[in-house]
Amino acid sequence: MNWTSYLRQKMGALFSLDTWLPTELPEYAVGLMYTLGSLTASSFVILVLSGIIMAANGPQWWTVSSIGFYLRGIHFWSVQAFFFFMILHLLRVFFSGAWRGGRERTWLLGTLALLVAIPTAFTGYLMRGDFYSQWNAVQAKDGLNALGLAWFNTLNAGQMYGLHVVVMPVILGAIIAIHIAFIRIKGVVPPYPSQDELQEILHEEAH
């Protein structure tokens, strides 16, 4: 099989309706704990939509206008929901062994998404413009200078705004999209077998 046939086969599986709009789900995948990934992704969508509106209207709008202040609250609590559901999702997939069955890349991408989300949220916090955000910016600048990362200037509002609004959301969104694509291709990992099922598997392998 040449590379074009391989690519066509993979793309056909990825973009098929059966992959993205399945008619049935495994029985074990309908529980509440298996919705944490979807809740994380939903929170991210709300974050992006509210962030686009805020960026289009500018800082003065979300600090002076009552509607802008309300939308900033939605954006803020969406961040809390995003990290809350992501941490729970991370714990669930860790203790359920979600890397099994060739799903190592899916697990690593999810972990990478968390690592990228942290500086994304921090640059957003620096956009508040109050005393606390300014104090954090100064402390972060000192720490980054000590690490030799002076280019990442937390006191440069323009740089932080560009990173938070454009660069980091695009990177984070791409990681999440690929993560979801891997899940749709590989499917949801089944739970660990029970003791009886494990004994049966070992018995079959022995014969």
Q: For residue range 152-191, list pLDDT tens digits in order.
A: 889 888 899 999 999 999 999 999 999 988 888 877 777 7
CB-count exposure of residue 18 (10 Å: 0-12, 13-18, 19+):
exposed
Confidence of residue 203 (pLDDT cuts 50, 70, 90): low
Q: How far is the C-alpha of 182 from the C-alpha of 187, rounded, in Å?
A: 8
Q: What is the pLDDT of residue 128?
A: 82
Residue 88's pLDDT is 93
Q: Could you tell me the CA-to-CA distances from 17 to 12, 20, 21, 110, 186 in Å, in that order?
A: 10, 5, 5, 24, 15
pLDDT for the residue numbered 112: 94
pTM score: 0.81
Mean pLDDT, rounded, for 110-114: 93
pLDDT tens-digit series, residues 57-77: 988 888 888 999 999 999 999
Average pLDDT, integer, range 76-99: 90
* Angle between helices 66-95 and 104-125 in degrees, nearest 10: 150
Give the model's pLDDT for residue 107. 87
